[in-house]
Amino acid sequence: MGNDIISPKEKNNSIFVSLICNILLVIGKGITGILANSNALVADAVHSATDVIAFFINYRACEHCQMYGRIDRKKTSKKISRRIVETEIRATYYMGIFLFTIGLAICFHNFMILVLDRVEKPDSITVLVAFVVLAVYAGLYKYSANSDNKGAENCVLTSKNTRWQNKMNMVSGTVVLIGLTASTLGFIFMDELAAVVVGSILVAMGVKLIIETREDLSAAAKRYFKPTVFGSIVISVVLAAISLSIQL
């Protein structure tokens, strides 16, 4: 076997590593954001929490696809091949709905903080934490990219999702670092603005995944597509209202 081939187990390991790293990031960013008055870090911690769930969805979907692949090693069963595709499509779609919902909630919450002028200057330690987080994101992106460059079977879409999430995490990490740096220099509103942008990134990620998978959904999922999206918007508003009532 050549060096450019990676086993399904190794491919799923790249998703697992991203999952574990994001769990640690949730803890680190969440605690720092709360104690150091940074809504941008808190928003990015929520972002990482959504990534934990999204990566877990990818991880489980990849495991199921591997199981189907072991059943049909010769790739002769159309039924098995269809199950693999359906599993990845379903996992990607629901991951998109989840990211869309949480992203909207983050946007609504932090936009209202800006409108109500309840911004607070974050402590300078948040800049250091944001820099470390960005470095971790860069490492995860490089790791998942290297895994993606090797041959993969049965987990093509879920692995692509993982790499794309890590890439967007680098973007959000950069936004948070810029926002916190500007905020500590006196532009206090930049912390909240960065949080809004982080939420917008999540929304964009969710919309992209939903659009990519909508046409390939089952008939039942297509039938409930509009109610599902509407429900996501309602839930995001409720979540934002609850978080605002707690913070204010």
* pLDDT score for 149: 46
Task: Classify residue 131: in a domain, yes or no.
Answer: yes
Q: What is the pLDDT of residues 70-102, one digit of tens each?
A: 555 555 556 656 666 677 788 888 889 999 999
| CATH code, 62 | 1.20.1510
Inform me whether the pLDDT recorded for 114 exceeds 50. Answer: yes
Range of the domain at 183: 8-247
Classify residue 125: in a domain, yes or no. yes
For the segment 139-197, what is each residue's pLDDT rounded down to a tens digit? 888 887 776 544 455 566 666 777 777 788 889 899 999 999 999 998 999 999 999 99
What percentage of the chain carries pLDDT values higher than 70?
Answer: 77
Classify residue 228: in a domain, yes or no. Answer: yes
Decide if 3 is inside a domain. Answer: no
Q: Which burial class, exposed, middle or buried, applies to 182 when counting CB atoms under 10 A from its CB (0-12, 13-18, 19+)?
A: middle
Give the pLDDT score at 67: 65
CA atoms within a 13 Å half-sphere pointing along the CA-CB vector of 8: 19
Residue 214 domain flag: yes
Count of structural domains, the chain: 1
For residue 1, tell me if it sits in a domain. Answer: no
Dihedral class, residue 82 (left if φ above 0, else alpha if ψ from -120 to 50, else beta)? alpha
The predicted pLDDT at position 153 comes to: 55
193 within a domain of the structure (yes/no): yes
Per-residue pLDDT at 92: 82
- Of the pLDDT bands very low, low, confident and very high (cuts 50, 70, 90), residue 109 is very high
Which two tokens mark 105? 């909630």
Does 205 score more than 80 pLDDT? yes
Residue appearing with tokens 């992106």: 141
Name 151's bridge partners: 5
